[in-house]
A and B are shown apart, each in its own frame.
Chain A
Amino acid sequence: MNEKSITSIIDEFGLVSASKIPPLGKYLRETWRRRDFILELARARSTAEYSDSLLGRIWQLLTPLLNAAIYFFIFGILLGTKKGIENYTAFLVAGVFVFNFMQATITIAASALPKNERLIQAIHFPKLVLPLAAVVQQIQQYFVSLVVLVAVVLFTGEPITVMWLAMPFVLILQILFTTGLGLILARWGASSRDINQLLPFFTRSWRYVSGVFFSITIFTATFSVWVSTALQLNPGAVYIDLVRDSLMTSQTNEPIIWIMGVVWALLFFVVGLVYFYRGEKKYVN
């Protein structure tokens, strides 16, 4: 067969390359068509995660509660980090939950492809569904945590204000950012298992510079303005602060934090999506 006859056969009978990745728009539509598949994978993951434990999915609620209690005990009571922060309990719980969502999501997304190797080897589908399933599963867990957070916030005497209306907006921004970062890590994780060894160090460092259990403003008061600004504008701190700003009257942010919340969300989501899509060919071998 010469090249010309192959091309003419392909055209005449509408044959499609089995290996060529469709253009981004079509790729995204194919992914959207499998939204039930994404939900099912997320559900399967949740089921699997708690299937070995006696209390089952009660852990979805217990884990965030215990986490909040431990952080409060260590940083709030033993170490007294609460100096200068009003309503330290709510401040801390917000920080822990908001950050934990990002940490858990990117960690799971990073191993989403190797973990689903069997599925990838057996059936052809857009691989984007795998990290997205990780995100969906964690969003569901996050919402349980947020119910606990709202309870803690109300319990510690915060009033319901008009700022609460900003919460859905903040959450959408945070989810977009986290999805984008997760997609970048998912591509790295597909080609190198070493990422899973490195990631805990990254997330731990990130946690310490994001003001999860201390106020960056107070902590960096004696530091140069560059350090203080860099810490405050890092996406981890931005989303934590936006949640605190929305739910707590004692916490308010400069407009720049809100702007950065939008910038990080759009930037990471778009870059992550395109970056992951461009690696699609590599995920099958």
Chain B
Amino acid sequence: MSTDKIPTVLVDDLHVRYRVILGAGTGSAAGAMRSLLSGKSPGQLVKSVHAVKGVSLTAYEGDTIGLVGRNGSGKSSLLNAIAGLLQPSQGDVYTASRATLLGVKGALNKSVSGNRNITIGGLAMGMSRAEVEAIRAEVIEFADLAEFIDLPMGTYSSGMQARLRFSIAAARQHEILLVDEILSTGDTEFRARSQAKIRELTNSAGTVFLVAHSQTMIREVCNRAIWLDKGVIKLDGKTDEVLDAYDADIQEKKVAKEVGN
């Protein structure tokens, strides 16, 4: 990597552990009482998941990086840590500006209208009221929700919620943009439009990290790819090289499994 490139995201030996609550403890009141009396920690059954295990990387201005890896390889955790939405258990992430995560999670606030959610989302991202008003029409149009926009967001289908969330976050210019599986939701038509939007944002944003089901998309827009495997970087390099190696590995595992059977 040449030295004249400007680094925008620096991930330094990042570890992410998070706790998963498996259930409310022993289930019965008597059981809870017993664990209290025996001095064991009562209540919830908690499991710790070590999702990212020592990832280091530097992303530069102009980089569009595709992240590939199987489910549970730590792609989403890595993006969340870069966005500052979860706390690293070790190491840290340094960014030139606050990274924005374009995710697929549903409504921000289910009990108020889509319109109100545009305001809430925009203000939460640090926009002023005037800026929110400036993007409102565009957001509604892009999400294609004009007739539903004054209904409580809880009445929306999950696809509609995802569309609105995407449109709110996408309405803004981002220096660092993190896109997480956004293309897996919505109908075919919206998928095509959001792909186009991501391409547009990719062109204007300084640095983009992209997690997508579609390898075609990654091959098309990314100049670099990172293959994550069980929380560590297996390969980091030119998109085609990394994706070819990843594909070959998938094929190999498939064959191995079939032989094993």
Contacts and interface: CB of A to CB of B under 8 A. Distances in A.
Given A44-B112, A122-B105, A16 B95 contact: yes
Nearest to B91: A19
A121 B18 CA distance: 13
Given A119-B108, A285-B18, A15 B10 contact: yes
B124 A37 contact: yes
A86 interface: no
A285 B21 CA distance: 12
12 contacts: A6-B12, A10-B94, A13-B7, A13-B8, A18-B84, A20-B92, A34-B126, A37-B123, A119-B120, A121-B103, A124-B98, A285-B87
Contact of A18 (B58, B93, B121): B93
A212 to B, nearest CB: 31
* Interface range on chain B (Cβ under 8 Å from partner): 35 or more
Given A14-B96, A123-B125, 8 more contacts: A15-B96, A16-B97, A18-B92, A36-B128, A119-B120, A122-B103, A122-B124, A123-B124
A48 B8 CA distance: 40
A16 B94 contact: yes
Rank and list the top 7 A-B pairs by shortest CB-CB distance, nearest first.
A48-B111, A15-B94, A37-B123, A18-B84, A18-B93, A123-B124, A44-B112
Contacts of A4: none
A125 interface: yes
A10 B165 CA distance: 32
A150 B92 CA distance: 55
Nearest to B121: A123
Contacts of B111: 44, 47-48, 51
Given A9-B10, A44-B120, A19 B105 contact: no
B92 A19 contact: yes
Interface in A22-41: 33-34, 36-37, 40-41
B12 A18 contact: no
A222 interface: no
Interface string A255-284: 000000000000000000000000001101
Contacts of A282: 87
Interface string B96-135: 1111010101111101100010011101111011000000
Interface in B38-87: 43, 56, 58, 81-87
A17 interface: yes
Given A6-B10, A19-B93, A285 B106 contact: no
B56 A1 contact: yes
Given A18-B99, A44-B112, A118 B105 contact: yes
Nearest to A119: B108
Contacts of A121: 85, 103, 105
Given A14-B96, A17-B92, A44-B116, A118 B108 contact: yes
A220 B158 CA distance: 59
B10 to A, nearest CB: 6
B19 interface: yes
A51 to B, nearest CB: 7
A69 to B, nearest CB: 29
B6 interface: yes
Choose among A43, A120, A123 the residue with the greatest number of B CB atoms under 10 Å from its CB: A123
Interface in B14-32: 18-19
Contact of A10 (B10, B82, B107): B10
Contacts of B43: 194
Residue of B92, B97, B124 most packed against chain A (CB within 10 A): B124
A59 to B, nearest CB: 16
Nearest to B21: A193
B186 interface: no
Contact of A41 (B87, B92, B120, B165): B120
Contact of A1 (B12, B93, B119): B12
B231 interface: no
A47 B119 CA distance: 14
B87 A51 contact: no
Contacts of A20: 92
Contacts of A10: 10, 94
Given A1-B56, A18-B92, A18-B95, A284 B105 contact: no
Contact of B108 (A14, A17, A122): A122
Contacts of A14: 96
A118 B18 contact: no
